[in-house]
Amino acid sequence: ENIFYSGDKLNIPFDAKWEFPKERLELGDILGEGAFGKVVKAMATGGICSYQTNVTVAVKMLKEDATEYEVRNLLEEMQVMKTIGAHKNIVNLLGTCTQDGPRYLYLVVEYAAHGNLRDFLRTHRGQEYGYELPHQHMKTLPTPPSHLDMKPLTQKDLLSFCYQIARGMEYLTSKKIVHRDLAARNILVYDDLVLKIADFGLTRKVADQDYYRKMTNGRVPVKWMAPEALHDHKYSAKSDVWSYGVLLWEVYTLGGSPLATVPMEKLLDLLRAGYRMEKPPYASYEIHTVMLGCWRLNPKDRLPFAELVVQFDKFLSDCK
């Protein structure tokens, strides 16, 4: 089951259920680039997964100079995606290209036509949005690109976003997956405003939901991190709940930057002293109460994802 990477020579076992021929991928533009590698837009021809015809996909791959650590991470991501199964609110695996060796591994996933949630929210800010605008001194605000569908977002859309992410996280948690980098930049927007949780690069499957595991390396998204993750590298479903609370704040500020004025070295003391972000203008008091329920200092006291699903389901049915 586990693949132990040891140099380029080792081949990944052929898995007929997932293997997709590289020749049938027509690679296009780069969609994203990170320390981990890159994501390239592509056309999968001749049918992939349950699709019968050509379909636009996203292909996750390593960079030329990928380290062994990054190779291992992508292999682990593949294993996680294969084993957890499909869910509407996570970015699902469609296929893999494994037979050129671990360094040339491709993960083929569902392509999100509308990009990541943070940028999506920001491009959907109306001109009346007077919060945290970078050019408030300017008479005219930059007009959004005309090719974008600029239908304004409604309160119901925002509630639906929160609900869908909670559903995806409830599913991941049930599969013992701790995400560790839950943030609007790692949520992808699909047609009909379907949201899916992406970037399993930092995820770890853990033996038990309450088991804490230390992150060994990598970037640290401090403004999204629970105090115990900041202080002790303790990650759990409950530290994901904290990050989910910050994600709620991002949704209700239409892509604002959390704790933007707080210096990193003061962050932990402030949070321990009980400082929390205030209610964003677009959020109701009930929504802010949910945020605060995600940001309780003791991980045990935070709302579970199952409860967050119930809450947002209720808010949605109360909405018009």
Chain residues binding ligand ADE by CB under 6 A are 31-32, 39, 58, 91, 109, 111-112, 115, 188, 198
The distance of closest approach from Cβ of residue 91 to ligand ADE in the complex, given in angstroms and rounded to an integer, is: 6
The distance of closest approach from Cβ of residue 131 to ligand ADE in the complex, given in angstroms and rounded to an integer, is: 27
**Helix (H, G, I), strand (E, B), or coil: what is residue 206?**
coil
Round to whole Å and give the CA distance between 133 and 201: 31
3-state secondary structure 1-67: CCCCCCCCCCCCCCCCCCECCHHHEEEEEEEEECCCCEEEEEEECCCECCECCCEEEEEEECCCCCC
Q: What is the dihedral of CA 271, 277, 278, 282, to 10 degrees?
A: -160
Residue closer to ligand ADE (CB basis): 66 or 109: 109
The distance of closest approach from Cβ of residue 43 to ligand ADE in the complex, given in angstroms and rounded to an integer, is: 13
The distance of closest approach from Cβ of residue 250 to ligand ADE in the complex, given in angstroms and rounded to an integer, is: 17
116 secondary structure, DSSP code: B
The distance of closest approach from Cβ of residue 75 to ligand ADE in the complex, given in angstroms and rounded to an integer, is: 18
Residue closer to ligand ADE (CB basis): 59 or 178: 59
Residue closer to ligand ADE (CB basis): 158 or 197: 197
Closest CA to 118 of 33, 182, 31: 182
Closest CA to 195 of 203, 186, 204, 205: 186
Residues marked as catalytic: 181
175 secondary structure, DSSP code: T
| CA 174 to centroid of chain Cα atoms | 17
Query: Which residue sits closest to ligand ADE, CB atoms considered?
Result: 58
Residue closer to ligand ADE (CB basis): 107 or 225: 107
| Per-residue tokens: 105 | 């591994």
Give the number of other Cβ atoms within 10 Å of residue 217's Cβ.
9
Residue closer to ligand ADE (CB basis): 39 or 159: 39
Integer-rounded Cα Rg, in Å, for the chain is 20
